[in-house]
Structure 1
């Protein structure tokens, strides 16, 4: 079965051009008009989806030809096309950056590319850059070009005059809809009381451009036929009857919605708790501590003695605990800031975590377990200093190159790594993380 739906992939020549702002503004603009909008994020990103979800009112899933895979992408796009009036996919980095890249995704699924270019420091070169993006790869589906952070109407006219392609307008420079950033990327939308007002201001700015003026009939020229993937056998309910407690608050907010979906599909009941509020573990059989920002919440986490003690009792009872990246960091004895200030943490693992001013690791990873191979990624600014000997390592995957990746630490029923897992890549391996005995 094939469903057709207008779709666009919002890309740029580099990071920092305003892709998220434009993608979220476009989604918000059409959602306000009563259209059903579904949004996706290209690549392994936790932060941009928060803004896209706020704009659409729906969960935002990630699309990555390596991490999530072609079949998963096809299934999600097909499902979205069946119920949406518009699909917005935000790209990652520059259009052709990475292997696979946003351009690979656009070409594989026929998604027209909307190029967003920060034109704040250029005039005639804008046209050359747009031409190169459109024609660098033959056959790339193309929607047009939007100039971002433009200084004036005169500046916009100069940019348009340089262009030999589809002009979709200019968005003026305006701090009222700037999306604030920190070391890992954009600030989570839920942390800003004016987040929706920022999106509305961006949508208003977009509304006066040719792009923003497109109605349902105009969007039809971007209609993409999206085929359903082959049906796979149903997943056995390997976690049936088990309750998994998931940490979820501002310090533990790096959660793929698809990961929660997989746990539920495996038969697990999910309950949530907040370490920042010093909540003890709810009654559960296993625990997941996802990534987030423990380094920004060190005082509260250090004081979370009820959470700490209940986690310690959970592990002492030999119940599984899986912690990834930011979820792992407070499990060590101390967390040292990038300025050298040390703060005691929960002490379930020996050693300390030290924040750095520079990125420590970034890229695709996979974790081989007895039950299967989990795909995912790593992205962190800290390093672990521990006498604990790693039980194994993930494998770093970059094109044809392979190498040792992140350490996997085990202490009894506790398992932890900087590795962020994409649970749909292997439901069986995922289940093994939350079952007694753990993966071998």
Structure 2
């Protein structure tokens, strides 16, 4: 068993969503990266969008940490490995510090991560101190780094906020109100960083805005106040049991502006199983690459419905792929494009690829959100669901996902549809939760019912 790895680490949390913790986590990562430090960033909970910005800020891949979806052993293994290679680990929390089960606070306490609270102080003064005190002491044993005031009106406002704290040492500074620091958003969260022309300039501006705060005045020695000893996982789950069951298998993964909800760990899992991963763009490529299996991940097909509909060559190639009994796994947005029609939230109807019968309709509000688990071929995969659309189809539902803890009395969740070797669901899978199930998902199957034409 390997030795513990010691490294400075911080969990960036907030009392609620929308306080600015992603901006602060990115600014902190960008600042210390510019100082020549090796920074690794993680995202708490199932999130595809924040990691795009966090990876750009740090220059390194960003993985998810979730005590249920990814599991404690997986979290421990990833933190231990990163701590051996980095000078600073940053974990961005999810929602409010104590929201969800498990919460960001659960993760912080499990791994002794110091908590930095980011508070939108734009409409408060003395209450800032009360809120900070409550966050610090609501749960016993939570390691506290301090609090950063965000969206502050000016120096006088900052002085009032600092004076409200019971412990002056817990004041880590203030970010002044500046709309230019806000990261652009749309209906599922942040806009993907690669789609924003001035993404790096925004991150540099956010890092510059931190200048003068305690967070940017720390030397390498000062960072040791946040030092954490990360133990190795007692029995880290291997991506495959000995052999590589997908060795010799080429998995084609859709990746572009329409299909961008891809966990970096999922790609790593496929590669660890022996698969060769190749990428293609349903927006730009007229043909499917030579492959044995296809993964259509989630994303924003509703923003590109007309362009996707015109790609008849790729549609026909995918149909031929299924006709040869080669597997397709389609998640959420990857599933949406496969149906006959997609109706936007403005009521416009677009023909899609028609590999599955039915219609997808965008909604103004969330249709589903939360952790889910799927039992398929006798194997359980963990993941989550998050979508704004609904599906109407005559297809029979093979099975449904369930919420955590509902194994004995499952509550109906997302449908899993099948047509030949094509499997589709709104469910987003975390592949590392069960590599054996993933190997079966992308292995060629024979005797599958249904047709795709």
Q: When the two structures are superposed, what TM-score results if normalisation uses the length of structure 1?
A: 0.98
SS at match of 1:416: strand
Counterparts of 1:399 and 1:82 in 2: how far apart (Å)? 38
**1:225 — aligned with what?**
229
Q: Which of 348, 365, 368 is residue 375 of structure 2 equivalent to?
A: 368
Tell whether 2:208 aligns with 1:200: no
Q: Residue 359 of structure 1 corresponds to which residue in structure 2?
A: 366
What is the alpha-carbon distance in structure 1 between the residues aligned to residue 231 and residue 38 of structure 2?
Answer: 20
Q: For residue 75 of structure 1, report the CA deviation from its aligned partner.
A: 0.4
Q: Is the 8 A contact 2:401 2:427 kept in 1?
A: yes
Aligned equivalent of 1:73: 75
Paired residues, number? 440
Aligned partner of 1:293 among 267, 283, 300: 300
Residue number in structure 2 paired with 1:339: 346
Q: Which runs of 5+ in 2 are unaligned?
A: 449-453
Question: What is the CA-CA distance between 1:176 and the residue it aligns to?
Answer: 2.0
* Distance 1:326-1:233 versus aligned 2 partners, 3 A rule: closer
Cα deviation 1:266-287 (Å, max 9, x = unaligned): 0001111000113311000000
Q: Cα offset for 1:399?
A: 8.5
Q: Distance between the aligned counterparts of 2:174 and 2:379, measured in 1? A: 48
Please give the per-residue CA displacement for 1:172-193, whole angstroms capped at 9, x wherever unaligned: 0112221011110011000001
CA distance in 1, matches of 2:285, 2:9: 43
Counterpart secondary structure, 1:237: coil
CA contact (8 A) 2:74 2:237 kept: no
Q: How does 1:112-131 map to 2 (within 5 A)?
A: 112-131=114-133
> Residues 199-224 of structure 1, C-alpha deviation per residue, up to 9 Å, x if partnerless?
00000001221222112111110000
The residue aligned with 1:413 is 421
Assess, with a 3 A threshold, how the Cα gap between structure 1 residues 284 and 173 changes in structure 2: closer, same or farther.
same
Moved more, 14-23 or 210-219: 210-219
Matched, 1:33 2:40: no
Structure 1 gaps, min length 5: none
SS in 2 for 1:26: helix
Residue 231 of structure 1: how far off its partner (Å): 4.0
Is 2:269 the counterpart of 1:262? yes
Note the alpha carbon deviations across 1:278-297, whole angstroms, 9 max, x for none: 33110000000000000111
CA positional deviation for 1:366? 0.5
Cα deviation 1:32-53 (Å, max 9, x = unaligned)? 0000000000000000000100
Structure 1 residue 232, shift from structure 2 partner: 4.6
Give 1:230 shift: 2.2
Q: In structure 2, what is the Cα distance between the partners aligned to 1:323 and 1:87?
A: 33
Give CA deviations for 1:46-66 in whole Å, capped at 9, x if unaligned: 000001000111100000000
Cα distance change of structure 1 residues 203 and 54 upon mapping to structure 2, 3 Å threshold: same
